[in-house]
Amino acid sequence: VRRLAAYATFFSTHRSVESGEPRLLGEAELTGADKVRRDGLLAELLQLRDAAQNGSASELRVVKDPLTRHGSLRFEGGRGITIVGARHPVEHLGRLPYAEPSDPDHNVLTSFIDIDALVEIHGHIRAVNPDSEVRIRLASDLRPDDYTSHLVLLGGIDGNVATRRFVERLNLPVHQVSGPDRRVDAYYEVRDQRRREEFRPRFQPGDDGELWEDIAQFVRTRNPLNAKRTVIICNGIYARGTLGAVRALTDAKFRDRNEAYLASRFSGVPTASLVMRVQVVGGQTVTPDWSDPLVRLHELPEHPPEIGNQ
């Protein structure tokens, strides 16, 4: 095990060969992101060793997939995972094709507001948690057992009552505000004893200008109803923001970079919150790059933990 740990440490960071002379970095020299990569590599090496000793082909197949090593959407233990979305308001359902359950072509997912985000995150969660049952639920259809499982909540307080309930329990200083005119009255607000700050979506000029920048929030925390489970919230003012928050964790081009930022910034933190800009170009949602400080609008905790405490 000691030798495998040394291998994992060596390959967890390019700094092992940065000076031109290969060397094994000490624990104090590793960053939070290095430690996450090291732990993921070590877990993979140990699984490979055990699978080789036991002759288990299925285990060998699973650990070859780099997606299963670590990440915010990787839930340990093979426990059930519930993805929760919001239902379209009744007055909107009538305008959607095949929305009526009595329609022979009815599709259940038609009822979900954030269907793009749902499809994106469901496939990724299934891929990185091959031993877990992954359920999809409307917030209005949640059962008692769902509330105490690993939860992934899509969408905000307007439609997703589950998001509203958990946000109230978390008591974060970041609040989603929504009024009757969603082009004017919908925004994120940071409110505490020291300040009040608003983060608003931006539209092209004109009354009917297209959305070109949404605001979204990512939250990762312990489930307040079951400390052994995790709650993830991906929520935008609009569906574009929700999709952007999801794609930050699933997009092959950005997910490793974003996960490395989360690991270095929020390592050892029980509750992490990140409010971000999500660009919309030509009607398409652009994946946010969390390593870019211009993308990050607010983070909680506001100050990263001391390196010695990571």
Q: Which pLDDT score is estimated for 90? A: 66
**Mean pLDDT, each 10-residue run in order, the chain (310 residues):** 85 80 87 79 76 58 45 88 87 67 74 91 92 92 93 88 90 87 85 87 85 96 94 95 97 92 89 96 95 96 59
| Gap between the Cα atoms of 292 and 161, Å rounded | 32
Amino acid type, 126: R
Q: Which pLDDT score is estimated for 65? A: 41
Q: Which pLDDT score is estimated for 95? A: 66
Sequence ranges of the domains in the chain: 2-67, 75-309
| Gap between the Cα atoms of 155 and 217, Å rounded | 10
Q: Which pLDDT score is estimated for 309? A: 46
Q: Which pLDDT score is estimated for 41? A: 80
Amino acid type, 174: V
In three-state secondary structure terms, 297 is strand
| Gap between the Cα atoms of 67 and 123, Å rounded | 12
Q: Judge whether 236 and 280 are in contact, CB under 8 Å.
A: no
| Gap between the Cα atoms of 212 and 279, Å rounded | 6
Strands (DSSP E) found in the chain? 81-85, 134-138, 150-154, 174-177, 187-191, 196-199, 202-203, 211-223, 226-236, 271-281, 284-285, 296-300
